[in-house]
Amino acid sequence: MNSIPLVDLAAQHAAVAREVAEGWQQVLATCAFIDGPQVAAFESEYAAFIGTRHCVGLANGTDAIEIALRALGIGPGDECILPANTFIATAGAVCRAGATPVLVDCADDGTYLIDVAAVEAAVTARTRAIIPVHLYGQAAPAERLMPIAERIGAVLVEDAAQSQGARRNGMAAGALGHAAATSFYPGKNLGAYGDAGAALTGSDDVATRMRMIKNHGSARKYEHQLVGVNSRLDTLQAVVLSAKLRRLADWNAGRRAAAARYDTLLAELDEVARPRTLDGNEHVWHLYVVRVPDRDQVLKELQAAGIGAGIHYPVPIHLTEAFAGLGQPEGTFPVTEQASRELLSLPLFAEITAAQQERVVSVLKSALG
């Protein structure tokens, strides 16, 4: 019995292996491992792909959120509103910038995106940033959040780590706010061969500050205008990302086709709540997330049958030990908490076959009894 992974990185690598090997040989020949010309080339390519002026390559997506916030002047004493239903890195980056994360619930509409009404209710005199997370491959309603930010003099910083290629009302995720952060962790739609990330902005001034912060606060070697960090996208990863970017549109189309197939296969399973795409969104299906009863037992049976299902996310941020200090006990965010008990991510990647998906659904049906 062949197993079916949650994501098949080997199949993706096969498509770019020769191009990556040739590109790496060029890097090895020149020894331009840091800030080689391939980094600038990828930054330009990805900015054009998103439709924004600047892409600043960084070491990882968590750094990207922190650096975007710091470049926009967010720091100690400031509050940043973000969803409780996200990976802990979103909140952790806010803390690293010196600001305070203010969590809100996700919408109870089948998308699990940030609840706009909850954002409005969470605004205080100290709110300086709103951070929507473009979750599972679709964009949050930034056009509803931007007026809130503008009214209170705050910035909108997108966490676009799961949405490379997604669009909202025709605009790319990553170009909907004052700045954006993305991750190129290997399992992302656009993934490196290790940690990597980027910050995006349409502002020349913000981009300049991003570049200074990522390089020890320096615009010129040994001249340090502020205290920065060491967070650079290395040249080898830039080669990988450029090769994959050229194929990303096709891979995302493959994911959309696979998601549509799941929709059809799951249509008659009343116990399974399928994901909903928000009106105006072009989804890129980083994850295909369903809602099922007795989720943990269902997951156990899927995994026992070789189905690489997963959970995104099993523990909401406010219930982690790391953020117990926020003083938000169980029951604070009921939609997020129920989602953490019932959501299940099914295997999804561009190369998944109809037969593989049929087997996933067959095992899922059996597990549901």
Query: pLDDT tens digit string along 262-284?
Result: 999 999 999 999 999 999 999 99
Provide the strand spans (E) within 222-355.
223-224, 281-282, 288-291, 343-346
The whole-angstrom separation of Cα 129 and Cα 149 is 7
Cis peptide before 136 (omega within 30 of 0): no
Q: Show the tokens assigned to 185.
A: 């962790």
Note whether 113 and 82 are within 8 A (CB). no
CA dihedral 291, 166, 210, 120 (to 10 degrees): -60
Residue owning tokens 């200090």: 325
Residues in the chain: 369
Over the stretch 57-80, which tens digit does the pLDDT of each residue have?
Answer: 999 999 999 999 999 999 999 999
Across the chain, mean pLDDT equals: 97
Over the stretch 138-155, which tens digit does the pLDDT of each residue have?
Answer: 999 999 999 999 999 999
Residue owning tokens 């290997």: 186
- Is residue 267 exposed (0-12), middle (13-18) or buried (19+ Cβ within 10 Å)? exposed
Note whether 105 and 115 are within 8 A (CB). yes
Sign of the four-CA dihedral 293, 84, 133, 65 = negative
Over the stretch 95-134, which tens digit does the pLDDT of each residue have?
Answer: 999 999 999 999 999 999 999 999 999 999 999 999 999 9
Mean pLDDT of 333-357: 98
Note whether 163 and 287 are within 8 A (CB). no
- Is residue 205 exposed (0-12), middle (13-18) or buried (19+ Cβ within 10 Å)? exposed
Domains of the chain and any CATH numbers? 9-241 (3.40.640.10), 248-367 (3.90.1150.10)
CB-based contacts of 273-280 (< 8 A; 24+ apart in sequence) = 273/110, 274/110, 275/110, 275/111, 275/136, 276/109, 276/110, 276/111, 277/111, 277/138, 278/109, 278/111, 278/113, 278/138, 278/139, 278/141, 278/168, 280/141, 280/168, 280/169
Note whether 162 and 190 are within 8 A (CB). no
The band of 256, judged by pLDDT with boundaries at 50, 70 and 90, is very high
Residue owning tokens 């170009």: 175
The band of 1, judged by pLDDT with boundaries at 50, 70 and 90, is low
For residue 2, the model assigns a pLDDT of 85
Lowest mean pLDDT among 13-17, 199-203, 217-221, 233-237: 217-221
- How many other CB atoms are found less than 10 A from the CB of residue 72? 25
Over the stretch 187-223, which tens digit does the pLDDT of each residue have?
Answer: 999 999 999 999 999 999 999 999 999 999 999 899 9
Return all residues near 10 (Cβ < 8 A) that are at least 6 apart.
none
